[in-house]
Amino acid sequence: MAFRRWIRRGFWLGTDKENKRTGPIEWVAPLIVLTAFLSLPDVSAQVSQGPSKNYTEEIVTESGDTFRLQIVTIPAGTFKMGSPAGEEGRSETEGPQRDVTLSSFYLSATEIPLDLFLAYYRETMTEKNDYLPQPAQSDVDAISGPTPVYGDLQMGAELDTPAIGMTWHNAVTFCKWLSKKTGKTYRLPTEAEWEYACKSSTANRYGATDSVDALGEYAWYIDNANEQTSRIGSKKPNAWGLFDMSGNVAEWVHDFYSPGAYAEAATENPQGPAKGRVHVARGGDFDGFPEDLRCSARSYEQPDWRAGDPQLPKSTWWLPFINTIGFRVARSADPQ
């Protein structure tokens, strides 16, 4: 770093006996060698070049309201997915640890905020019967949005906190709505993409840090959250500019859950099991302990998440009173 400051200030690489600056012939060759050294690539992380720009997605609702969502470029690369055998708090479902290679993709810098999710709800809510069979549709204009929520969708939370209480199906439908609004194809990140982004080219347990003592600088969890969600982006981001990858709310990802998924999964752009009963959630939440907030920690929908719904059968859209689950959105990079 001192070398870089020295060159940037324009200092020459030597003086004569009278303490005068040397001529160009005497400093050009050393400067070329030094410049070559400083420009050597960092080989500590296996990260490739990908899309070059982050961007801001602007969403205009039917009522004329405008929302902005920061989107971060995630470079292609290879990482160790899963946790090492000796990691504190590790579950057997986090292994075997293996090398996984991913293509470039985009990921929202924050969890989806409650105010944007409410805009989606207002535009797509339907009074149709939640339980009658609906024809399969691919276009968001032709599919049903959420049925009215049972209870308070906000659960007392502020509008700048994460959206909460939606099922995986509801989160996927939000992605379709967002895709229609923007002309870009948004989706949930895969489990591998999520963990790669959390680790952000490090081997740290929590991605942004490896220290439990420093975890509170990056995450809302049981030690500092006061048993509630907090404003998105109010903690420090990780190395790739992503906020709340640990804590605040757990996040739905694309994959079905299987305890033995890693033993059978592909090692290049894995998509998870082809079928399953419940889906994976990642990142831990405001009520979680440090071991729950590790980048490799896996959770999934529990039976009691739908216990607050008095309807039979249970809603396909809502998890009443579950204020610990949300999501962020991803998008595949455009072919280069």
pLDDT at 311: 82
Which one, of 45, 77, 81, lies nearest residue 296 by Cα?
Answer: 81
Instruction: From residue 63, give the alpha-carbon distance in Å to each of 116, 120, 122, 308.
Output: 13, 11, 10, 32
Q: What is the mean pLDDT of each run of 10 residues along the chain (336 residues)?
A: 32 35 39 35 46 88 96 98 95 96 98 97 77 44 76 93 98 97 97 98 97 98 98 98 98 97 94 97 98 98 92 90 97 82
For the domain 55-332, what is the CATH superfamily, name and number? paralog of FGE (formylglycine-generating enzyme) (3.90.1580.10)
pLDDT at 128: 57
Strand order of the β-sheet with 298-300 is 298-300, 279-282, 250-256, 325-326
pLDDT at 313: 86
**Rounded to the nearest 5°, which phi and psi values hold at 232?**
-65, 145
Instruction: Decide: pTM greater than 0.85.
Output: no
CA 148 to chain CA centroid, nearest Å: 28
**Rounded to the nearest 5°, which phi and psi values hold at 51?**
-55, 145
Alpha helices in 71-167 (DSSP H): 114-124
d(CA 253, CA 70): 19
The full set of domain ranges for the chain reads 2-38, 55-332
